[in-house]
């Protein structure tokens, strides 16, 4: 990322770290963070559910929690996906 604009690697790293910090802060505050042309980070509430312990196979209760999901922008998805056949 630092090569294309011709900036030092340390500066590029600092910019990315600041973007991540801003995204985290905004997702906590408003529930979403948009990166134009790339996608949107959205806070989602997961319900409590029953799962299985991988070691014993016994059913276990997984508590409800809030997670952040990243949804890609349509233009970004279209750029990476092969064209659909009709």
CATH superfamily placement of domain 9-80: IHF-like DNA-binding proteins (4.10.520.10)
The DSSP element (H or E) to which 69 belongs, if any, is: strand 65-72
The three-point CA angle 30-32-38 to 5° equals: 150
Q: Do the strands 32-35 and 59-62 form a parallel or antiparallel pair, or are they unpaired?
A: unpaired
Which band of pLDDT confidence, cut at 50, 70 and 90, is reported for residue 85? confident
pLDDT at position 75 is 82
**Domain residues of the chain, as ranges?**
9-80
Q: How far apart are CA 72 and CA 69, in angstroms?
A: 10
- List, for residues 61-70, the tens digit of each pLDDT value: 999 999 989 8
Q: How far apart are CA 44 and CA 60, in angstroms?
A: 22
Q: Which residues sit opposite 40 in a β-bridge?
A: 34, 71
pLDDT at position 1 is 66
- List, for residues 36-46, the tens digit of each pLDDT value: 888 898 999 99
- List, for residues 10-26, the tens digit of each pLDDT value: 888 898 899 889 988 88
């Amino acid at each position: 990322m630092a090569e294309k604009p011709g900036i030092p690697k340390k500066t590029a790293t600092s910019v990315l770290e600041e973007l991540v910090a801003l995204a985290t802060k905004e997702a906590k505050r408003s529930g979403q963070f948009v990166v134009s042309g790339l996608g949107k980070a959205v806070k989602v509430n997961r319900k409590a559910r029953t799962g299985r312990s991988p070691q014993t196979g016994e059913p276990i209760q997984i508590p409800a929690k809030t997670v952040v999901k990243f949804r890609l922008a349509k233009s970004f998805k279209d750029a990476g996906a092969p064209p659909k056949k009709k």
